[in-house]
Amino acid sequence: MTLLETMLSSANNWQSIVCDGCTHPYSHYAGGCSDIRGWDCEKCLNEIHFAESAYNHQDPNKILIRKDYDCSKLLHCYVQRFADRYYKSIKYACKNIDFGIYPILNILSLGCGNAPDLAALHELAAGKPLIYTGVDSNPCWSALQRNIENYAQNLDNNLFVKFICGDALQPSNLPQTEIYNVVVIQWLISTILKGGGTPENIYSLFNGIVASAASRWREEHILDSPFLIILSDVDNFEFGNYILNSPHTLIT
Ligand SMILES: C[S@@+](CC[C@H](N)C(=O)[O-])C[C@H]1O[C@@H](n2cnc3c(N)ncnc32)[C@H](O)[C@@H]1O
Ligand SMILES: [Zn+2]
Ligand SMILES: [Zn+2]
């Protein structure tokens, strides 16, 4: 089984999951979104993704709309709906990259979720050593992330995966000693901006990553490798494409 197939199969039971600790804002439904009659986590995803646009205008009660991915059931639904698409986005973004010139892949993925980027890069690495550190602030991903760690531990001797639950905007949450040669940021910039973050948050995130990666690289002379940053996000001005389209504004 490929990593992508493993991810999809570990989420294909999403409809039978009962939310535990889900905070869907319909407060009178104590059991979270699985308790709302006729409800479907596809609707939860639409609420999160389109809260500021058409979907929201139809709902006079905006306060009842879900804004966060804080439910394990909806995250399983997310994987079923998006993992394959986001895996393909990374493959497409890398279509002109020659991974043959990278001795290993040591990847830092920010806002990694269930790591569809890893599924793509694992294939592109074609058997060379791959170390992956995924950082995400949402603890509800943990069950899906454990499946990926198990896959690495049991099925591939060249794959080393670790997930950190923490805010990627706080440099202290990022590992201080790894020497990365690939940084992936997929759907994090728009998520941060939608959640009330500012472009300055994004600029300082980039400056922090590049400064710390570059200093270790320079000082330790360990990796004879190119350095790759993969950005993949929404093509929408409101949610940051002006940032993605102007890489020179990202790194000062
Ligand atoms: C739309 S999901 C994308 C997940 C994954 N990268 C993908 O492509 O499927 C956005 C993710 O960013 C995470 N996130 C949002 N703000 C974050 C922050 N400040 N630090 C770390 N993760 C964050 C969310 O928890 C969520 O998992
Ligand atoms: Zn729920
Ligand atoms: Zn739901």
Domain spans in the chain, listed from the N-terminal domain onward: 7-73, 92-250
- Ligand at minimal distance from the CA of 15 is 3
CA of 26 to the centre of ligand 1 (A): 23
Q: Give, for ligand 1, the residue of 8, 142, 188 to mutate: max count of ligand atoms closer than 8 Å to Cβ.
A: 188
**pTM of the predicted model over 0.85:** yes
Mean pLDDT for 217-230 is 75
Of 220, 198, 74, nearest in space to 144 by CA: 74
pLDDT over threshold 60, residue 62:
no
Helix, strand, coil % in the chain, rounded to nearest 5: 50, 10, 40
For 3-20, what is each residue's pLDDT tens digit?
999 999 999 988 888 877
Per-residue model confidence as pLDDT tens digits over 79-126: 999 999 999 999 999 999 999 999 999 999 999 999 999 999 999 999
- The protein residue whose alpha carbon is closest to atom 6 in ligand 1 is 112
Angle between helix axes 3-11 and 142-155 (nearest 10 degrees) is 140
Ligand 1 atom closest to the Cα of residue 141 is 27
- The mean-pLDDT minimum among 58-62, 128-132, 144-148 falls in 58-62
Q: Over the Cα atoms of the chain, what is R_g?
A: 19
Q: Which of 187, 188, 136 is nearest to 162 (CA)?
A: 136
CA-86 nearest atom, ligand 1: 8
* Residue 55 scores a pLDDT above 50: no
Collapsing DSSP states into helix, strand and coil, what is residue 98?
coil
pLDDT band at 64 (very low <50, low <70, confident <90, very high): low
CATH among 3.40.50.150, 3.30.70.1140, 3.40.50.1820, 1.10.1200.10 for 92-250: 3.40.50.150
Top-ranked range on mean pLDDT: pick from 65-74, 207-216, 221-230, 233-242: 65-74
Do 230 and 181 form a contact (C-beta atoms < 8 A)? no
**Distance between Cα 7 and ligand 2 center (Å):** 20
Rounded CA-CA distance 209/204 in Å is 9
